[in-house]
Structure 1
Amino acid sequence: MPYKINHKPWRDVSAAMLEHRKQTIAAVEPAVPGVADSLPLNVTSIPRQLLPSEVIEITESPSELLISRLSTGKLSSTAVVTAFLQRAGLASKLTNCVAELLPERALTRAKYLDDYLSKHRQTIGPLHGLPISVKEHVEMAGLDINAGFAAWVGNVATSDALILKLLWNAGCVFYARTTEPQALMHLETDNAIYGTTTNPFNTNLTAGGSSGGEGALLGLRGSCLGIGTDIGGSIRSPAANNGVFGLRPTSYRLPLSGLAATMLGAEHIVPVIGPLSTSLEGINLFMKALIDQQPWLYEPSLVPLPWKDTTEDSLLRKDGTGNRKLRIGVLSDDGVVKPHPPILRGIQTLVSALQSHPDIEIIPFPPYKHAEAWRIISSLYFADGGAEEKAAINASGEAILPLTEFILTQNPNVKELSVHEVWKLTQEREGYKAAYTRHWNSDQMVDVILTPAGPGCAPPHDCARYWGYTSQWNLLDYPSLVFPTGLQAGLEDKVEEGYKPRNEEDGYNYELYKPETYVDAPISLQLVGRRYEDEKVVEALRMISEIAGLPLKN
C-alpha cells in the first residue's frame, strides 16, 4: 500500500501513540500491576512477584502444553488470553516491548473459540485458542502500521497479512503487537515513537532487533509464540538475547504479503517471516500449522514444499554398516570477529556433552570468506542508497538513530546502485553461494553447523554493530535456528588479556566485553542447515538437546 505521510512533529506523534498504548494496557482486566520506579537490572523475577499463581502457571506453560489443554477444554481460551494480556502488559511496563494490546478483539475471539468447542466438541484448528503476539509491521486490519517511522503513523491496514489469515484459520488469537526499530534494520529495537526496548535479563543490554519487542516479550513469558521477520538476524538476534527459540526459515516457505516496510519488492536479499517461541516444539507447531494449509495456493512465489514430521527420527539413516551418525560441523569463530568468552564457553560446553555420543560426530567446520559475504550482502541491502529510509525518517523531523546511521551512512558499501551494478552484485552473490556449497560438500560433509548467534551475548544499547554471525545465512538462504543453552554469562568469563584485534570490527567487539556488564545475559547458540532443510534443523536440535540436556523450553 502507498504510505501517507503524517506531517505532525514526531514528539506529538510519539505522545499520542504512547497514550494509546497506555490505554490499551489499562483496558486489561484484571488490571495489570504497576511497577516500582526503581527496578533491578534483571527484571525476570518480577512477574512471579506481582501476578496471581494461575496467571503464572498459564503463561509459563509452553505452547504445546497449552494447546493440549485448550483442545480438551481443560483450559478455556478466555482464561489463557486473559493471563497473557496481563503478563504482556506487565512485560511492557518492565521492558517497553509492546506497541499495543488488543484486549477487546482478543477476548471476543477467545469467547468465540470457547463457544465453538463447547457446541461442536472439536477445535477450529491445530492452534485453537492459543495467543500469538505479532510484530507491528505485520499488517493487521484496522490497526496502525508505521514500521517504526513516526511519519508513517496514521496508516491503517485494510486487511490482515496472509500469514495472519492462515494462523487465524488454525484457531489462534492475536492479542499483542510488539515494538521494532527505526528503519527495521537494527540488531536493536528503538524508534522515535516508543523509545528503546530493553533486555529483561539486564535492562542495560539490548533486547536485539529488529523483532526485539517479540524477543523481550517472550523472554518475560508475556508470550509463548510470536511472529518476527528477518533479513539480517532480526528473528535470531532477539531470540538469542532473550534466551528463547527463533527460526529463520528458508525464503519462500512462509508468506510475506502484507508487511509494511521500505523497499518492498526488492529481491536482492529476500526477507523472511518466522516464529519466536519459548519452546522448540512451538517452532514446529507454528511452521506445520501454516505449511499444512498450502500457502503457495495463495502466494504463488512460495515453494510447494510440505512440512515434514520432525518428531520422527530420520536423521540417523541406515548406511549398510549400522546407523549413520549425525555430523555436526562446529564453526565457533567466523574468522572476522572473535566471539566473547561466554559464547565460546557455551560452544565448548555443548561440544563436550556431545562428542562422546555414539550417534554424533563432531567435525571442525572452517569459515569460508565471511568478510566477503558481508561485503556482498551489505551492498545489496540498500540498492537505492538508503533513500527510502532517509525520506521516511526526515519526513517527521525525527533524529536518525545511532544504529540507523551505522548501517546507512557509516557503511561504506551502501550507495545508490545502477542496474548494471545490481546485476554484478547479484552474480557475486550467486558465485559466493556456489562456492559455499562446495565448501559444505567437502570430504567430511556435515548435516548441520553449530555456530554463535552473535559475537557476544546481548550487547549494550546502540552497540550491536556486527551482523556477520546471522547475515551470513541470509545471504546463503540457509535455515538457521537459535536456541538457549541454559547457560548465562558470569564473572568467570574472563577477558582475554593481551588480545590483538584482527580488524576494526574485531577491536570494537573486544572492547565491548567486560564480564560485569554481561552478568545474567543468556548464552544462546545457532544451528544452521542447508536450503529447504528447515525440518532437519529442528529435528537435529531436538536430538542434540535431549543428548546434551539442553532446555527444550525457556
Structure 2
Amino acid sequence: MAPATVTIASGATWQEVVADRQRHRDATVAEIRPPVPAVRKEDIPLNTTGIPKKLLTEQEVQITNTDVEDLVKKITSGEWSSATVTNAFLRRAGLAQKLTNSITELLPKRALDKAAELDQYLAANKKPIGPLHGVPISVKEHIPIKGEDINAGFVGWVGQVAEEDALIVQYLESAGAVIFARTTQPQTLMQIETDSNLYGITVNPYNTTLSAGGSSGGEGALIGLRGSILGIGTDIGGSIRVPAASNGLFGYKPTSQRLPTAGWVAAMAGAESILAAIGPISTSLEGLRAFSKSIIDQKPWFKQPSLVALDWRDSAQYYPERKLRVGVIYDDGVVRPHPPVLRALNEFVGKLQKSPGVEVVEWKPWKHDLAWSIIAKIYFADGGADVKAAVNSSSEPWRPLAKFILHENPDVTEHTITTLWKAILERDDYRTAYAKLWNENPVDVILSPAGPGVATKHGTGRYWGYTSQWNLLDYPAIIFPTTDAVTDAPREQPYEYPEGYQPLNERDKYVYGLWKEHGAEGFDDEKLFRAAQILLEEAGLPTAVPA
C-alpha cells in the first residue's frame, strides 16, 4: 500500500503538501483490482447516481445496493464471501471518488486482509465473528487508522501518523466490520459543507452543483452513492445530520459520551463547553441500530470511563401499548424553512395523523434564537485561537465558510475563565428551562426539519440552528429521509413563501435570499431530503416512510 506519511521535504509549500496527499489518494484508488472504471470529468452528469449501474458488474451493483441487515445475512449464509463484498465496495467507492471527490484514501490491503480472515473464521467455526461480520465501514478522516496520516483537514497537520486505531474502530472490527475507506472533511471541521485546501469540494451525488453537507460530507457523498452503506461521522452542530439529510440517508447523533470518541483528532481537544458526538450514517435505520448496539454491547465505558455506562435497552421498555406522542416543529422562529421543506413536513405529518398509533401535537420552539447565541459563544472559548493557529501553520488560505465562522461571526467570543463560567451557566439554565417545557407538555419525540433548506448551493451553508439546537441540549437525534421530489410531472402548487413575506432577522433574510436566488433553479428541482430528529435511540420508527 502507498505510504501514509508525506514524501516531501519539511520546508514544502502548502501546495506541495496538497499535491502529495492527492497523489497518495489516487494511488490507493489505482490499487483496486479490477481497476476502477475511468470517468472523464466532462462526462459526469449533474445526477451521478445512475453511473455505477453502467460501469460496475451486475454482482457488484447487487452487493453494494444491499443494506447492512441483509448484507450480513448474505455473507454469514455463505452466499457471498466477505472478500467479494469488500472488493465490490472498494470498486464502487473508487468510482464514487471520481464522481463526488469524497475519499481521502482507500485501504485495500487492510480491508482485503481482514475480509480473508473473516472468511476463514466463518469456514472454520460455522458462525460469524460478530454482528457486523463482513460489513464494510467507511471512516471520516480525523478518526485515526493505525499507520495512516491524520490531519483533520489542516494542511499543517499532514505528516502526523496514527499509532493505533481509534477506539470506536477497534470495537467495530471486533464486531466483524471491515474498515476500507477514509473520507473527506472541511477545513476546521466547523462547516456544514465539505471544502478543504487538501482535497477541494465534495459534491452531492444527486446534483454536483449542490453540497454534500458537512462536516462529515465525505461520508454523506460516499454513502449517498452507495460506495459505502455504513460509515462513521462526528457531530458538534449537525455534522452527521446535515450530510445524512443532504444525501437522503439515515444519520444518528447520540448523546455525547454515548459512543467512544477516544483517539479522534481535532483542534480544541479537551474543550468541554459543547461536546461533540460520534455516530453512524447509513442507508438504513437498521444500519444505525446495528452499528450502535454492536459497540454498546461491548461495554466501551470500561476502556473510556467518561462514557455513559448504560446497556442497550429494547424499545418496548419505553413504549408500552399506547400512542407514540410526537411533537412537531415547523419553524424554529429564527429562520423560516424553504417552501419545499415545509411542504414535505406537512405531508409527512398528515400521514402520521392518520396512524392509529401516533398522536401528533405542535411543539412551540422556546427561544431557539437564544440557543443559537449561547452555543455560538461557547464553540470557540479561546476566540478560535487554536483553530486559527492550525490553519495558519501552513499558510494555507482560509476557505470561505471557515473564514465566515471564525473571522466574520460576531458571536465568536474569547473568554476569560470568569466569562466562560458565566456562559456555561447560561447553557445549563437553558437546558433546565427546556426540560421544564418538556415535562409540562411531554412528548416521546420531536419531529423537525434538518435545516431551512435542502442540500445547499456550494458556499452558502451558514445556518445550522435546526441541528445545533440539539447539541446545545445534548439530546440524541436521528435523521431519516421522508420525500423524494425528483419528478418531471408538473406541480399542482408552486413552492413559494407567503406573499409579501418579510424576513424575521438578518439570518432569515440571508436564507430567504438563497431561496429567491436559487430556489426555482436549484433547490426546488433536486432530490428533496427531509429529516426529523428522534429523541431516543430505541424509538423504533420504521425504516421507510409509507408511500
Q: Please point out which of 220, 223, 231 is paired with 2:228.
A: 223
CA drift of 1:8 comes to 2.3
CA distance in 2, matches of 1:315, 1:48: 42
Q: Which residue matches 1:340?
A: 338
**Is it true that 1:194 corresponds to 2:199 in the alignment?**
yes
CA drift of 1:123 comes to 1.5
- The answer as to whether partners of 1:7 and 1:151 remain within 8 angstroms in 2 is no
Report the secondary structure of 1:535's partner residue: coil
- The answer as to whether partners of 2:447 and 2:532 remain within 8 angstroms in 1 is yes
Q: Which moved more, 1:462-471 or 1:486-495?
A: 486-495
CA distance in 2, matches of 1:126, 1:357: 33
- The answer as to whether partners of 1:478 and 1:528 remain within 8 angstroms in 2 is no
The 5-angstrom pairing of residues 375-390 of structure 1 reads: 375-390=373-388
CA distance in 1, matches of 2:71, 2:169: 20
CA RMSD of aligned residues (A): 1.6
* Letter paired with 1:355: Q
CA distance in 1, matches of 2:388, 2:346: 43
State the TM-score, normalizing by the size of structure 2. 0.95
Q: Please point out which of 460, 477, 480 is paired with 2:474.
A: 477
* Letter paired with 1:515: A
- The answer as to whether partners of 2:344 and 2:483 remain within 8 angstroms in 1 is no
Q: Which residue matches 1:23?
A: 27
Q: Which runs of 5+ in 1 are unaligned?
A: 318-322
Q: Which moved more, 1:14-23 or 1:495-504?
A: 495-504
- The answer as to whether partners of 2:340 and 2:528 remain within 8 angstroms in 1 is no
Q: Which residue matches 2:306?
A: 301
Q: Which residue matches 1:329?
A: 327
**Is it true that 1:174 corresponds to 2:179 in the alignment?**
yes
CA drift of 1:314 comes to 5.1
CA drift of 1:315 comes to 5.6
CA drift of 1:486 comes to 3.4
Q: Please point out which of 435, 449, 466 is paired with 2:463.
A: 466
CA distance in 2, matches of 1:365, 1:403: 32
Report the secondary structure of 2:533's partner residue: strand
1:242-301 per-residue CA deviation (whole Å, 9 max, x = no partner) reads 000000001111011111110111110000000000000000000000000000000000
Q: Which moved more, 1:31-40 or 1:244-253?
A: 31-40
**Is it true that 1:524 corresponds to 2:530 in the alignment?**
yes
Q: Which moved more, 1:242-251 or 1:487-496?
A: 487-496
CA distance in 2, matches of 1:77, 1:16: 32
Q: Which runs of 5+ in 2 are unaligned?
A: none
**Is it true that 1:82 corresponds to 2:87 in the alignment?**
yes
CA distance in 1, matches of 2:30, 2:175: 29
CA drift of 1:221 comes to 0.4
CA drift of 1:397 comes to 1.2
CA drift of 1:495 comes to 2.7
- The answer as to whether partners of 2:345 and 2:530 remain within 8 angstroms in 1 is no
Q: Which residue matches 1:499?
A: 501
- The answer as to whether partners of 1:6 and 1:154 remain within 8 angstroms in 2 is no
CA drift of 1:489 comes to 6.0
Report the secondary structure of 2:105's partner residue: strand
CA distance in 1, matches of 2:538, 2:377: 31
CA distance in 2, matches of 1:475, 1:229: 15
Report the secondary structure of 1:441's partner residue: helix
1:298-320 per-residue CA deviation (whole Å, 9 max, x = no partner) reads 0000111111234xx55652xxx
* Letter paired with 1:47: P
1:206-227 per-residue CA deviation (whole Å, 9 max, x = no partner) reads 1000000000000000001000
1:377-435 per-residue CA deviation (whole Å, 9 max, x = no partner) reads 01101011111111111111111111111111111121210000110000000000000
Q: Which residue matches 2:58?
A: 53
Report the secondary structure of 2:430's partner residue: helix
CA distance in 1, matches of 2:215, 2:324: 33
Q: Which residue matches 2:39?
A: 35
Q: Please point out which of 441, 454, 471 is paired with 2:439.
A: 441
CA distance in 2, matches of 1:250, 1:394: 33
- The answer as to whether partners of 2:260 and 2:300 remain within 8 angstroms in 1 is yes
CA distance in 1, matches of 2:486, 2:501: 20
CA drift of 1:515 comes to 2.2
For the structure 1 residues 441 and 524, does the alpha-carbon distance in structure 2 shift closer, same or farther, using more than 3 Å as the test? same
- The answer as to whether partners of 2:378 and 2:413 remain within 8 angstroms in 1 is no
- The answer as to whether partners of 2:247 and 2:529 remain within 8 angstroms in 1 is no
* Letter paired with 1:15: A
Report the secondary structure of 2:41's partner residue: coil
CA distance in 2, matches of 1:282, 1:476: 25
Report the secondary structure of 2:109's partner residue: helix
- The answer as to whether partners of 2:260 and 2:278 remain within 8 angstroms in 1 is yes
Q: Please point out which of 186, 208, 213 is paired with 1:208.
A: 213
Report the secondary structure of 1:484's partner residue: coil
CA distance in 2, matches of 1:9, 1:98: 23
Q: Please point out which of 339, 356, 359 is paired with 1:358.
A: 356
* Letter paired with 2:71: L
- The answer as to whether partners of 1:217 and 1:223 remain within 8 angstroms in 2 is yes
CA drift of 1:357 comes to 1.8
Paired residues, number: 531
Report the secondary structure of 1:348's partner residue: helix
Q: Please point out which of 251, 265, 277 is paired with 1:246.
A: 251
Q: Which residue matches 1:320?
A: none
CA distance in 2, matches of 1:453, 1:509: 14
CA distance in 1, matches of 2:62, 2:317: 34
State the TM-score, normalizing by the size of structure 1. 0.93
Q: Which residue matches 1:140?
A: 145
- How much identity, in percent, do the aligned residues show? 52
CA distance in 1, matches of 2:91, 2:65: 13
Q: Which residue matches 1:94?
A: 99
The 5-angstrom pairing of residues 264-303 of structure 1 reads: 264-303=269-308
CA drift of 1:119 comes to 1.3
Report the secondary structure of 1:29's partner residue: coil
For the structure 1 residues 315 and 295, does the alpha-carbon distance in structure 2 shift closer, same or farther, using more than 3 Å as the test? closer
Q: Which moved more, 1:246-255 or 1:28-37?
A: 28-37
- The answer as to whether partners of 1:163 and 1:254 remain within 8 angstroms in 2 is yes
CA distance in 1, matches of 2:252, 2:11: 37
CA distance in 1, matches of 2:317, 2:38: 49
CA drift of 1:160 comes to 0.7
**Is it true that 1:535 corresponds to 2:533 in the alignment?**
no
- The answer as to whether partners of 1:199 and 1:242 remain within 8 angstroms in 2 is yes
CA drift of 1:124 comes to 1.3
